[in-house]
Structure 1
Amino acid sequence: MICGDYTYIWQSPDWPNWRYDLSALAEPLAAVSRAQGLLLGRLADVGLGLRDQAGLAALTEDVLKTSEIEGEHLNAASVRSSIARRLGVDIGALAPVDRHVEGVVDMVLDATAHSTAALSDERLFGWHAALFPTGYAGLSRITTGAWRDDHHGPMQVVSGPLGRQRVHYQAPPAAHLPDEMARFLTWANASAPTEPALIRAGLAHLWFVTLHPFDDGNGRIARAIGDLMLARADGSPQRFYSLSAQIQRERKAYYDILERAQKGNLDVTEWLRWFLHMLDQAVAHAHRSVDSVLHKARFWQHVSGASLNERQVKVLNRLLDGFEGKLTSSKWAALAKCSTDTALRDINELVALGVLQRSQSGGRSTSYELLVQSNPCPTPTPPSPVT
């Protein structure tokens, strides 16, 4: 698709004068604001410890999913440990430090915990260097902590096998980046912005990823900038929902709408409507995560009088976090790193305490499930879905 005499929006004579129909976005804006208010209201009624657990869960998911969107899978335990260590949240044993995980966590926490601080070249360079601590993206040497130089040709987003690649997007030439980034940062740091806060988050995400100023990592940094803008909109450094996780669930639609927006005109109403819909869905998912946190807390309160060993606590936490499949003595042994005989003794103790019961689902091996259930408070009815 070619608009007038140009292919990409940055080639438009009006670039970057974004246009959008605010009246068409009024309803989704209101729906997201209501959903956010409902979530924050629920969290205001729980203790600080549970809020910390909900924030830890949201940030862990955010770090994992922003990397998964780019096809990179981080170790969940390392991510959770890294965030817990920085936030001072007690989660028991910590996983070993992973230098690459630490870099992504550094970026996400800096964006959200210091959202009121100005964005600058130096700050973005620091994020980029943290994402690529070795100076390599995969096997390719890249420039870190600086804008790309297009030494190997124009920056393009492509897909398909070598020789039959399809170009989805081509970014502005590297020579334009100092002026383009200066203009973007001036807008991002405006003391009296004219756009609604949630609209600014959507525009910042699209604007940065359109400039694509780095050799790699542009999507992750664009989402971190979006998170920074959302933290400013919420007026809180604590994050209880993950937009990146929702985008990962709609990954194909994300890339499709980005391509349409970057090849369209400067009316980005469609992109902003989609962005607000993702926000609405992310907050709805966060309500379910809060249910899980509350359920887990009530479970441990219910069994607080029982004398449990470290292995039992570890495996029960895995069950409460959503263990997939059937729990057998052999799986218990693998999770707890113990012998099958020890696992069976642990299980039988919990059966005797009324914490576990033998599953009635049948099968070749005896399996077990949680018997103690503590239904969380029902999730409030969310606002009507944004379409």
Structure 2
Amino acid sequence: MFIHETDNWTSFRWDSDKITDLLIRTNKAIGFLAGRLSTIGFDNQMAATVESVTHDVVSSSEIEGVTLNTAEVRSSVARKLGVTVSETKEPTHYIGGIVEMMLDATQNYLAPLTAERLFGWHAALFPMGKSGSTTISVGTYRTGGMEVVSGMFGRERIHYRAPEAGRIGGEMDTFLAWFNDLQHTPSLLKSAIAHLWFVSIHPFDDGNGRIGRAISDMVLSQADQSKLRYFSMSMQISREKKEYYRILEATQRSDGDITAWLVWYLECLGRAIEASEAMLSGVLRKAMFWKTFSAISITGRQRDVLNTYLDGYQGKLTAKNWGKLAEVSLDTAGRDIRDLVSKGILSPVQGRVRDVSYIINYVAEDTFIRNFSKPEIVQRDDKEYITAFYKDTQKVEERISNIDRLRLEQKEITLNDLLYKYFAYLAD
């Protein structure tokens, strides 16, 4: 039996004792992140929003097996939000439509959710009226049955069978009335329930997962009362896709007790917030880097490779890796790097003669480092952090990457190098 086959199936039940502490912890994490972001300035907040929405759009499609060009998505998001990004790529009409759907959910979060609005979102996902090579009904509820199936022909496994088509209109009317009812205050709990409820109705021929995740993001924006998005639930779900489908199937086969779904959703949300901290740090470092060296003339190739490293490429910055990324000879890569060293953008790691590696100078040295005292590396929950006191009063902390930790252990970089990298945004 599937969940919608039980009486009063949307009278969901859960064990409050199992989710209360989770709700408190997750809301606290969101509050901490919001507080941190409030200190960085509007331009950097918008840059972080561009990255978060980009991850959301790309990851939500990846969950359904659809691969989008990240640079095109980022360009589309930035253009629609009025933000300038260093790397642009003309997006296709298809990507523009998907981005518009996601931004409509999170930017226009106060507007009522209606059937017509959902039909518009659906049409944006399938502008050609096809899912792959299959023609589907677009911009309207499905008119046939719907099963979520896996396995080879003749050995299929039915994971879920959605309500029959004749019930869709009534089920969606009930869902939309609940969603728009101001008595049901937007919250993390409502976001989790909205996602489960919508995908359990499965009202469209295709695209239900992507629209369901947009709906849950809309509730999160309502709860925050903010158009700015700093963490990507879809990106975290993509990382945990197997468990996502497992817990979803188990809940859709239950009798209406959704405790396990709520616990997983809130824990996944917590991990999404944690992951966003690393993304935010990268955005801030990248913004500060380009601000510091905005007046320095470099080639387009140099800019592209630098952006690759600034966006988190984990390989060492060597002439060999530079050549591979830029698809140029080792001699050309060496000339590119020497030019950047002469301009103060890169610095060679001391003590190496062969296979010299380089570090990126995120800020001009001058007196920046004097603002920090008592820097150290600490370990917590199997993760490494650099901490220090900024101007003797403010304790600052950033999670460091595994490669930076290894390079520190191998004495290729120093604690001061990490201070320049991870706290460059404080020079703003």
Match of 2:417 in 1: none
- Partner of 1:265: helix, strand, or coil? coil
Match of 1:287 in 2: 277
Moved more, 133-142 or 315-324: 315-324
- Partner of 1:215: helix, strand, or coil? coil
The answer to whether the aligner puts 1:128 opposite 2:158 as a matched pair is no
- Partner of 2:397: helix, strand, or coil? coil
**Corresponding residue to 1:66 among 44, 60, 64:** 60
CA contact (8 A) 1:9 1:262 kept: yes
Deviations 1:188-212 (A, max 9, x none): 000221x661111111000000000
Please state how far the C-alpha of 1:332 moved relative to its aligned partner.
Answer: 4.1
**Corresponding residue to 1:170 among 139, 155, 161:** 161
Distance 1:101 1:161 in 2: 31
**Corresponding residue to 1:261 among 251, 265, 272:** 251
| 1:291–1:97 distance in 2 versus 1, CA, 3 Å | closer
Distance 2:282 2:87 in 1: 21
Letter matched to residue 190 of structure 1: D
RMSD (CA atoms) = 2.5
CA contact (8 A) 1:258 1:271 kept: yes
| 1:373–1:88 distance in 2 versus 1, CA, 3 Å | closer
Distance 1:121 1:371 in 2: 50
Moved more, 68-77 or 311-320: 311-320
Matches within 5 A, 1:288-327: 288-304=278-294, 306-327=296-317
Structure 1 residues not aligned, in runs of 5+ = 1-6, 381-387
Distance 1:360 1:206 in 2: 55
Distance 1:301 1:184 in 2: 47
Match of 1:384 in 2: none
Query: How many residues matched?
Result: 369
Please state how far the C-alpha of 1:371 moved relative to its aligned partner.
Answer: 4.2
Distance 1:183 1:142 in 2: 25
- Partner of 1:240: helix, strand, or coil? coil
Matches within 5 A, 1:353-368: 353-357=343-347, 366=355, 368=357
CA contact (8 A) 1:32 1:280 kept: yes
Letter matched to residue 160 of structure 1: G
Higher strand share: 2
Structure 2 residues not aligned, in runs of 5+ = 364-385, 388-395, 400-428
Letter matched to residue 263 of structure 2: R
Deviations 1:107-162 (A, max 9, x none): 11000001111111100000000001111111111110011111xxx210011112
Please state how far the C-alpha of 1:345 moved relative to its aligned partner.
Answer: 2.4
Deviations 1:257-306 (A, max 9, x none): 00010000111111111111111111111112122222223334554564
Please state how far the C-alpha of 1:378 moved relative to its aligned partner.
Answer: 1.6
- Partner of 1:280: helix, strand, or coil? helix
Match of 2:180 in 1: 189
Match of 1:12 in 2: 6
CA contact (8 A) 1:53 1:89 kept: yes
- Partner of 2:148: helix, strand, or coil? strand
Letter matched to residue 239 of structure 1: R
Moved more, 56-65 or 16-25: 16-25
Matches within 5 A, 1:152-171: 154-171=145-162
Deviations 1:27-67 (A, max 9, x none): 00000110000001011101111111111111110001001
CA contact (8 A) 2:315 2:321 kept: no
**Corresponding residue to 1:211 among 201, 208, 223:** 201
**Corresponding residue to 1:82 among 39, 59, 76:** 76
Moved more, 98-107 or 351-360: 351-360
- Partner of 1:220: helix, strand, or coil? helix
Give the structure, 1 or 2, with the largest relative contact order (CA under 8 Å, sep 6 or more).
1
Distance 2:269 2:221 in 1: 13
**Corresponding residue to 2:225 among 228, 235, 248:** 235
The answer to whether the aligner puts 1:23 opposite 2:17 as a matched pair is yes
- Partner of 2:158: helix, strand, or coil? strand
Moved more, 271-280 or 316-325: 316-325
- Partner of 2:358: helix, strand, or coil? strand
